[in-house]
Structure 1
Amino acid sequence: MGFLDGILYVLPAVLLAMTVHEYAHARVAYSLGDPTAKREGRLTLNPLDHVDPIGLIMLVIVRFGWAKPVPINPFNFKGNRDAGIIKVSLAGPLANLTLAFVSLVLVRIIATMSGIIVLSPSAISVMQISVNFLLLLARLNLFFMVFNLIPLPPLDGSKILSSMLSPKARMQYQQVEAYAPLILILLLVTRTLPMILIPIADTIEGILRFIVFGII
């Protein structure tokens, strides 16, 4: 696959993964009583409202980037504030997991259709392109999920962990925030980040494939 062909596959997949992730954060926050994301125009499935241009370029080219974070105000949450933060933080990764699962289900549906329908060469080509895209979409969403669950600020994993700590431990943990970008860069440059993400994403993908296809 050439560079241009790769971009045509990767860009829509990245936009979809980003959009469902950020939309899920906004939707759950709104359901908990916080209108901040809706007021800022983030309660939408329009990718343009969630994209950070530099983050998108980085994601497409070097497979490491970011979207615009969804603004939330935990003081608006109904019920326990820490529980609300955990729910909102988990919403994005779980949305990516769901989209990965749906993508694999669609692959199985297409595979089943190709086995029972006499296809023209053009139909075969369209189906192959669709399968390739859906497999990429599934894998990319799993990477999004695993990456965002890393417990380093400002990733979702850090908010989940912070909400589970005692006030004293939370203050100590929040001191890491200033060094988090440097830590992430070091993990990326030393290739430690892929060594962490790939085995976890592979394992989850294997489980999903077993559920959908009956094989790993």
Structure 2
Amino acid sequence: MIGWLPELAVAILASVLAITLHEAAHGYAALALGDDTAQRAGRLSLNPLRHVDPVGTLLLPGLLLVVQLLTIGRVEAMFGWAKPVPVDIRRLRDPRSGMALVAAAGPAMNVFLAWCAAMLAHPLENLGGTLPPEAMALGVRFIILSILANLLLGLFNLLPIPPLDGGRIMVGLLPAPLALRLARLERAGLLIVLLLIFVLPRISPSLDLLGWLVELVTGPGFNLILWLAGHGS
């Protein structure tokens, strides 16, 4: 049995790694494509403190942790965001396609991190006979939570609503007239996302977008990552 404090620690570690490296991937992609704004602002960093957003990095994940630990005694899924890495689209060598690539770098990093977490199960399994049961359980829990946190963060950000990554990818791919219309939603994008998450499910359970994403992540998405990491079907 894992105590609540170690459970909390591995959940925080998994979430912080997922969020920090997601944002860092945006900055490094922008730098590779000609924009050094994040570097000059000191945001091209793997230091989690540089990317902390009071609500998205601390308050919301902390609330989810406490609620899950108090209600079901374990952490099944996490959600949050970091302070966005600054990108100046005018500095990119090809602004439209460059912005789409910069946006895609974050979710791509999360998928990669989920796969890396699944790969950790191989050496952990080999150490199974030498580790105490509590350490083995904690290692397995970290792997599970890392896969879930990265898949949920990556998939959520692929929703085609600016300022989410998926919205910016669509702005880079759509014909110019449609791209401009979608880009105009960015100022209201966060409000739209909050309505989709908190209001629509109260209107109809079938409109529970976050619940659908969690179901996808904990089912087919989780199994796909395990398969890609060589754990069979």
Does TM, normalized by the shorter one, top 0.5?
yes
- Structure 2 spans left out of the alignment, 5+ residues: 65-77
TM norm structure 1: 0.88
Question: Is 1:129 aligned to residue 138 of structure 2?
Answer: yes
Say which SS state the counterpart of residue 144 (structure 1) adopts.
Answer: helix
Alignment check: 8 A CA contact 1:52 1:66 kept: yes
Quote the Cα distance in structure 1 between the aligned partners of 2:193 and 2:3: 29
TM norm structure 2: 0.82
Quote the Cα distance in structure 2 between the aligned partners of 1:81 and 1:15: 30
Task: Provide the identity percentage.
Answer: 33
Quote the Cα distance in structure 2 between the aligned partners of 1:2 and 1:58: 22
Letter in 1 for 2:82: A
2:12 corresponding residue in structure 1: 11
Quote the Cα distance in structure 2 between the aligned partners of 1:151 and 1:64: 18
1:11-50 equivalences under 5 Å are 11-50=12-51
Letter in 2 for 1:70: V
Say which SS state the counterpart of residue 85 (structure 2) adopts.
Answer: coil
Per-residue deviation at 1:135? 1.2
2:81 corresponding residue in structure 1: 66
> Out of 71, 79, 95, which is 2:109 matched to?
95
Per-residue deviation at 1:207? 1.3
1:203 corresponding residue in structure 2: 220
35-44 vs 187-196, which deviates more? Answer: 187-196
Alignment check: 8 A CA contact 2:19 2:80 kept: no
Aligned residues: 210
Aligned-pair Cα RMSD in Å = 2.0
Say which SS state the counterpart of residue 82 (structure 2) adopts.
Answer: coil
Runs of 4+ in 1 over 6 A off after TM superposition: none
Per-residue deviation at 1:6? 4.1
Alignment check: 8 A CA contact 1:28 1:91 kept: yes
Q: Which has the higher contact order (CA 8 A, sep 6+)?
A: 2
Alignment check: 8 A CA contact 2:161 2:189 kept: yes
Provide, for residues 161-216 of structure 1, a one-character-per-residue CA deviation record: whole Å limited to 9, x for no partner.
01112221122223333432232222222161223312432322211212224433
2:75 corresponding residue in structure 1: none
Q: Return closer, same or farther for 1:214/1:107 CA change in 2, 3 Å cut-off.
A: closer
Question: Is 1:107 aligned to residue 124 of structure 2?
Answer: no
> Out of 146, 168, 173, which is 2:155 matched to?
146
Per-residue deviation at 1:64? 4.0
Quote the Cα distance in structure 1 between the aligned partners of 2:89 and 2:155: 24
